[in-house]
Structure 1
Amino acid sequence: MAEKIGLQTLVDRSIRNMGDGINSVVKEGAIEMIKQAYKEGIFVQITAGYRSIAEQNKLYAQGRTDSGKIVTNARGGQSNHNYGLAVDYVLLSSDGKKPLWTVNEKWRRVAQIGKSLGFSWGGDWKSFKDYPHLEMMGGLTISQLQAGRRPVLVSFLSNKVSAKPIKTTPVKILPAKSTIKTKTTYDLPTGVLKVTKPLTKGAGVKVVQEALAALSFYPEKGAENNGIDGYYGPKTADAIKRFQLMHGLSADGIYGPKTKKTIEKALK
C-alpha cells in the first residue's frame, strides 16, 4: 500500500507554487486551509498563486496566438493573481501523485474551510464558475487594483473557527514528519523537446518519460514497457501538458528549461 503524502510536503509544494509575490495573509490562509483539510484526510495542494503580468499575457495567448486550449479570459493586469491575492488548488490522491479534478463533496469541503479563513470561492460565482479558485480582494475591484490601490487584509487565524465538517469516511492521518524512501534520481536533459516529424527520440526523452511516470503523469498503462519508449510523441506531450497545468505553467506540451526545473522540484 502506498504511503500517504506528508503534510509538510503539501505545504512546501504549495509555498513554492504560490510564488514570492503572494500576499502574506493569502499565503497564511492557504497554508492553514491545507492543514485543516489534512486533519480530515483531504490532501490539498496549491497549484498557482502570484502570476506576473508577463506570465498572465503568455497564459492569455494560449489557445489564441499560441498552441493549446484557452484557459483564461484575463489579460495581464486583469487577474487578481497578478496582485498576489488569489490561489488555485487541487485535491490529490492520498500518495500525492495523482491530481483529482472532480468537484465533489471533499472539493467543496476545502472551499468551505477556505471561506471560513476569509477567502471567496470561484465556485460560488454566478456567471463563470472557477472551482479551483480562492481569493481575498479586501473589497476592492480589479479596476481599483489596476489604478494602484491595494487591500488591507486581516488574518482570520487569530480568531479562526473551522467550518462544520462534512461527513466523510475517517482516514488515519500520518504524522507530519516524513518517512519517505530514498528516491531515484533523474538526469533530465537540457534544451527543448517537442513533437516533431520525424519524432524526436533518445535517452533524454526516455528519462523525461521515466520522471513523469514517477510523478504519475505517465506512462500509458497496458502498452509495452508502459509506453516508455524514448520517443517524444503526442502521448508524452500530453503528459507534459497535464504536468504543466497542475503546476501553474503554460500548458503547451513542450519540455523546456522551466518545465525541467519544475519537474526536478516535484521529484524532491
Structure 2
Amino acid sequence: MGRVSLDTLLRRSEKNMGSGMNAIVKKSALELIRRAYKEGINAQISHGMRTYAQQNALYAQGRTKPGSKVTNARGGYSNHNFGLAVDYFLTSEDGSKAIWTVNSDWKRVAAIAKSLGFSWGGDWTSFKDYPHLEMTGGLSTAQLRAGKRPSLTDRTGTKKVAPSKTVSKPPSSSSGSSWVKAAQEWGNSRDYPDKAGFNELDEDGLTGPLTFDAFLRIYQYFGKTAIDGVWGPKSRAVAAVQNKDDHTPGWTRLLQATLCLYGYKHKIDGAFGPLTDEALRAFQRSKGIKADGTTGPVTYTKMFEAA
C-alpha cells in the first residue's frame, strides 16, 4: 500500500478535535499535520476538546478504573476542557496503525509545533505528557474556569499573495492533482486570501479541509455574508443561481474550481460552457439531487456542508 494521503490525516484530525476548539489552536494543529507531512512524517491529532465528564473519565483510568494513568488533571483542570490543547501521535506509512514511540520523528513534530506557538508536554518536568500540545496565552486553568480566554497569535504564516490572473491551463506535476493545483492557484489569486480571510493555500494538488474552507470563505465573500468558514442558514441564503444561460464570471470560476476539488477536470475560465454544464450535472447526479445544471442552495449545500 502507498502512503496515507494528507487529506486523510487532516480529516481524521479535524474530526478528533471535535467542536468547541479555539480557532487558532485548531488552525495551528492542522498546519502542524501539513508541515510534518511535507517532511515525510505522518502525524495525526487524537484528541482535542474534552468535556469535564470526559476528562474525569480519563482521570479515573488507572485510579478507580482499569488501565494506565494517562492524566493528572480532573475535569476543569485540563486545557483540553477549554479547546486550547490537542494530543498527537504518528501513524504507519499507510495510516492504518498508530505509533506511540517517542522517536526522532515524534520530537521533530514537537519542534514544529513549538514553532507554531504550542507548548509541548514532553518539556514538562513533573509529569511528561509526550502527546500533549497546548496554547494558553499565559492563562491558568483557574482563570479559564473563571471565564477568561487567551488572546493567541496565529503563527501559521501568510504567504505572499499571487498576482491576479485567470487559470487557463493547469500545471503538470508528478504529485497531487494538476486540476486541484489549478483550483488552489485560482484560490490564491485576486487577493482572495486577504479578502476572504484565509492563509494562502499550498498549491500541492491535495484536496483537504483547508482548501474547502478557503473556497467556502470565497463563496461567503461573493455572497456578502459573514465570512466564518461555516456553512449555515446565512450562507445558504446567498447562494447564487447560475447556469449556462444566466451566470457571472466570478461565481462560475468558484463553481469550476470547486468541481475540480471533486475530481471534475476543466478550465477555470469563468465561461459557463458545455463542459462546466456537464460537470455540474454529473456532480448533482452523484449527490442524488436534481441534475438540472443550475446552482442554488441545494447544490452548494452538497458542495460545502460536509466538506
Q: Structure 1 CA distance, aligned partners of 2:78 and 2:93?
A: 31
What amino acid maps onto 1:44 in structure 2?
Answer: A
Deviations 1:176-235 (A, max 9, x none): 648xxxxxxxxxxxxxxxxxxxxxxxxxxxxxxxxxxxxxxxxxxxxxxxxxxxxxxxxx
8 Å contact 1:4–1:174 — kept in the other structure?
no
SS in 1 for 2:157: helix
Q: Which runs of 4+ in 1 moved over 4 A?
A: none
**TM, length-normalised to structure 1:** 0.59
Q: Structure 2 CA distance, aligned partners of 1:100 and 1:68?
A: 19
SS in 1 for 2:90: strand
What amino acid maps onto 1:43 in structure 2?
Answer: N
Within a 5 Å distance, the mapping from 1:69-108 to structure 2 comes to 69-108=68-107
1:158 aligned residue: 157
Tell me by how many angstroms 1:159 deviates: 5.6
SS in 1 for 2:81: helix
Aligned residues: 165
2:273 aligned residue: none
What amino acid maps onto 2:73 in structure 1?
Answer: A
2:64 aligned residue: 65
Change beyond 3 A, Cα 1:174–1:42: farther
2:128 aligned residue: 129
Change beyond 3 A, Cα 1:174–1:93: farther
Note the aligned Cα RMSD (angstroms). 1.8
Tell me by how many angstroms 1:70 deviates: 2.2
Higher relative contact order (CA 8 A, sep 6+): 1
Tell me by how many angstroms 1:153 deviates: 1.1
Tell me by how many angstroms 1:65 deviates: 2.4
Q: Structure 2 CA distance, aligned partners of 1:102 and 1:174?
A: 29
2:115 aligned residue: 116
Change beyond 3 A, Cα 1:134–1:41: same
- Are 2:21 and 1:32 aligned? no
Q: Structure 2 CA distance, aligned partners of 1:15 and 1:40?
A: 20
SS in 2 for 1:90: strand
Q: Structure 2 CA distance, aligned partners of 1:61 and 1:126?
A: 23
Change beyond 3 A, Cα 1:37–1:174: farther
Q: Which runs of 5+ in 1 are unaligned?
A: 161-172, 179-268
- Are 2:140 and 1:141 aligned? yes
**TM, length-normalised to structure 2:** 0.51
Deviations 1:104-151 (A, max 9, x none): 111111011101111011111111111111100001111211222110
Change beyond 3 A, Cα 1:45–1:174: farther
What amino acid maps onto 1:96 in structure 2?
Answer: G
Deviations 1:233-260 (A, max 9, x none): xxxxxxxxxxxxxxxxxxxxxxxxxxxx
8 Å contact 1:6–1:174 — kept in the other structure?
no
